[in-house]
Amino acid sequence: MMSKNGFTLIELVVVIVILGILSVTALPKYINISQDGHDAIAKRLYGSYKTAVSLYHSCWLTNGSNSAVYDLNCFANGDIDSTITGYPLGEDTVASGGGGTQLTGDFCRQLWIGMLDAEDFVLAIHTDVSFGGDNDIIYWYSNPDATLPTTYCYYNYIRDNRNKGQENWQIRYFPATGEVTLGRATLG
């Protein structure tokens, strides 16, 4: 009697065909799962930012303030200054001379760091060289006048696609009103 050691050619071909079929059907699902993970991260960051703004404003109201406050002690580390309407503006805003009315790009960075426990994200100013590499969030601001309801800080989550000109999740924070939005946007 002869024992069989190994696979026949037909058995190998059948296994390869089955693996091919599985990979064709499973790969798109894996790609969607990966994007779903990035979508969930962006939505979590949005929710955290929105909650932090609300908590900050509640602290400002509880403090009995009716104008800009420097180093609001009842929130986080107590080093975030407010706008004249009681929403977070940045750290050390006295140097800007605006009395809670001037927004800078660095204030947007300070808010991200000071209001979120998101140290595992690499932030970069919105420039052409910010795309690619290890950057996860590209930030900047729309206007220096923080009293306008149309002025905002923006944070684009690019971890899922770091190429310039791609549509990514964008969090916008409006310091005059405290509004925080989440949508898709393309940075050029």
Over residues 93-151, the pLDDT tens digits come to 988 878 899 999 999 999 999 998 778 899 999 999 999 889 999 999 999 999 999 99
Calculate the average pLDDT of the chain: 89
pLDDT value of position 177: 97
Please tell me whether residue 174 adopts helix, strand or coil conformation: strand
Q: Are strands 179-186 and 153-157 parallel, antiparallel or unpaired?
A: unpaired
pTM: 0.82
Over residues 38-51, the pLDDT tens digits come to 999 999 999 999 99
Cβ-contact 83, 175 below 8 angstroms: yes
Structure tokens at 21: 């079929």
Cβ-contact 38, 159 below 8 angstroms: yes
Instruction: Give 57's Cβ-side CA count (13 Å radius).
Output: 18
